[in-house]
Amino acid sequence: MNKPNIQVLFIEDDLIDQMAFKRAVKEQALPFDYRIAGSLADARSIINTERFDIILCDYLLGDGIGTELLGRQQDAPVILLTGSGSEEIAVEVMKAGAYDYLVKDSEGRYLKSLSVRIETTLMRRKKEEALKLAEQKLKERATELEARNQELARLSEELRLQSISDPLTGLFNRRYMEIALDKEVRRAARRESPLSVAMLDIDHFKRVNDTFGHEAGDFVLLELGKHLTCSIREEDIACRYGGEEFCLIMPDCPPENAHRRLEKIIGNFKLHPLEYGYISIGPVTISAGVASYPTHVSSPHDLLKAADSALYRAKSEGRDLLVTADAGLP
C-alpha cells in the first residue's frame, strides 16, 4: 500500500518564496499535499477547518510573527522559516515550541533539506505521541491498581474484623479475648495496676430455647451483647466466650468497682423487657463470677480461672447471683 501524502500547510507572505516552495515540491517530487496561506489570518481560518501533518511557517509575516501560531489552535508540529543568518531568532522560535527551523537563503538552498527535516519532525512527533499514550496508559493502570489496593485493604480489614468478632452479637470472640487478656495481663503486671475479669452465663438458657425457640434464644444473646456494649467503659473488652457465656476484661479496675459495675449490669439486664416480636420472653437472669488482680490472684494469668470458679459457685448457690472470687482460691 502506498504511504499517504504528507499534509502540509505552507505559510508565506512572499510570493517569490511561495513559488520557490512549489517548484521544490515539484522538482524533488516531494510526497506532499499542500495548502498555501499568505498571512497568519489566512492560516488560522484554514487550520480551523483542515487537518495538517505539519506546518511550515515564515517567521516574519505581514500580520504578525510565526511564533504566534505555536501552541494555539492547531496541534500539528511547526517548522519555522527564519530570515537568513538570524540565529537568535532560531533560538527564540525553538524555545517558543517550534519543532525545527530552517534558515532561508535567497537561492532557495534551504528547500533542499525540507524533505529530511519534515521526516525527522514527523518521526519525533510520532515518538512523542507514543510516549504520551504510554504515559496515559500507565496513569490509568496506576489508578486501577490504587483502586484495587484500596479494595484489598478494605477486604483485609473486613476479614480481620470477621476473624476477631462473633457474628451473632458483634462482640469480640474467644480467640480475640485470649489475645487481649494476655496483653492486659502483661500490662497489669508491668504497671502493678488492678485488672478485673468477669465471666457471665445466662441462667437456664436452654429453657429459653426450649420454650420460645432457637431464634428467640438468639435474640436474647443479641440483646445481652448490646447491653454489655452499652454498659462498659471504652477501655473494657466485652467478648462472647461461647454459647451463652460472656466475658468482660476491665483494665485499671479494682475489685470494689468491678463488683459494683457487674451488679449493675446484671441487675439492669433482668429489668430489660425482652420482647421478641409478639413473644414476651420475660426476665432473663445472669450469673457471674468476678476476680481481680492483685487482690484475688497473685498472678494475673490465673484471673480467668478464678472468675470461672466464682461463676461456678454463683450457679451452685442458686443462680441470678454475682460472686467475687476468694483471695488465694483459683
Q: Which residues bind Mg ion (CB under 5 A)?
A: 13, 58, 60, 201-202, 205, 244-245
Count Cβ neighbours within 10 Å for each residue of 273-291 and write b for 16 or more, e otherwise: ebebeeeebeebebbbbbb
Dist. CA 279–CA 213, nearest whole Å: 10
**Choosing among ligand GH3, Mg ion, none, which partner's interface includes residue 320 (Cβ < 5 to 8 Å by kind)?**
none
- Read off the C-alpha cell for 295: 487482690
Instruction: Tell how far CA 69 is from the center of its chain.
Output: 43
For the CB of residue 205, give the shortest distance to ligand GH3 in the complex, in Å. 3
> Helix, strand or coil for residue 61?
strand
Q: Is 313 in the site for ligand GH3 (CB under 6 A)?
A: no
Tell me which of 192, 244, 263, 317 is the catalytic residue: 244
Cβ-closest position to ligand GH3:
217
CB 281 within 8 A of CB 220: yes
* Among the listed residues 165, 209, 231, 257, the single contact to ligand GH3 using CB under 6 A: 209
The contact pattern for ligand GH3, residues 157-176, with x = CB under 6 A and - = no contact, is: -----------x--------
Q: Give the dihedral of Cα atoms 127, 128, 132, 133; nearest 10 deg.
A: -30
* Among the listed residues 203, 223, 236, 308, the single contact to ligand GH3 using CB under 6 A: 203
**Choosing among Mg ion, ligand GH3, none, which partner's interface includes residue 214 (Cβ < 5 to 8 Å by kind)?**
ligand GH3
**Choosing among ligand GH3, Mg ion, none, which partner's interface includes residue 60 (Cβ < 5 to 8 Å by kind)?**
Mg ion
The contact pattern for ligand GH3, residues 215-234, with x = CB under 6 A and - = no contact, is: --xx--x-------------
Considering the complex, state which of residue 34 and residue 176 has its C-beta at the smaller distance from ligand GH3: 176
Nearest to 20 by CA among 103, 101, 108, 80: 108
**Alpha carbon separation from 19 to 10, 11, 62, 264 (Å, rounded):** 11, 12, 18, 105
Torsion 39-41-44-45 (CA) sign? negative
Count Cβ neighbours within 10 Å for each residue of 117-140 and write b for 16 or more, e otherwise: bbeebbeebeeeeeeeeeeeeeee
Dist. CA 20–CA 68, nearest whole Å: 24
CB 254 within 8 A of CB 188: no
Grid cell 499517504 is found at: 4
Q: Is 201 in the site for ligand GH3 (CB under 6 A)?
A: yes
* Among the listed residues 125, 174, 272, 315, the single contact to ligand GH3 using CB under 6 A: 315
Q: Is 321 in the site for ligand GH3 (CB under 6 A)?
A: no
**Choosing among ligand GH3, Mg ion, none, which partner's interface includes residue 44 (Cβ < 5 to 8 Å by kind)?**
none
Tell me if residue 244 is catalytic. yes
For the CB of residue 58, give the shortest distance to Mg ion in the complex, in Å. 4
3-state helix, strand, coil in the chain (%, to 5): 50, 20, 30
For the CB of residue 42, give the shortest distance to Mg ion in the complex, in Å. 13
For the CB of residue 255, give the shortest distance to ligand GH3 in the complex, in Å. 24
* Among the listed residues 59, 101, 110, 205, the single contact to ligand GH3 using CB under 6 A: 205
**Choosing among ligand GH3, Mg ion, none, which partner's interface includes residue 209 (Cβ < 5 to 8 Å by kind)?**
ligand GH3
Residues that bind ligand GH3 (CB under 6 A): 168, 201-206, 209, 214, 217-218, 221, 243-244, 315, 319
Catalytic sites, residue numbers: 244
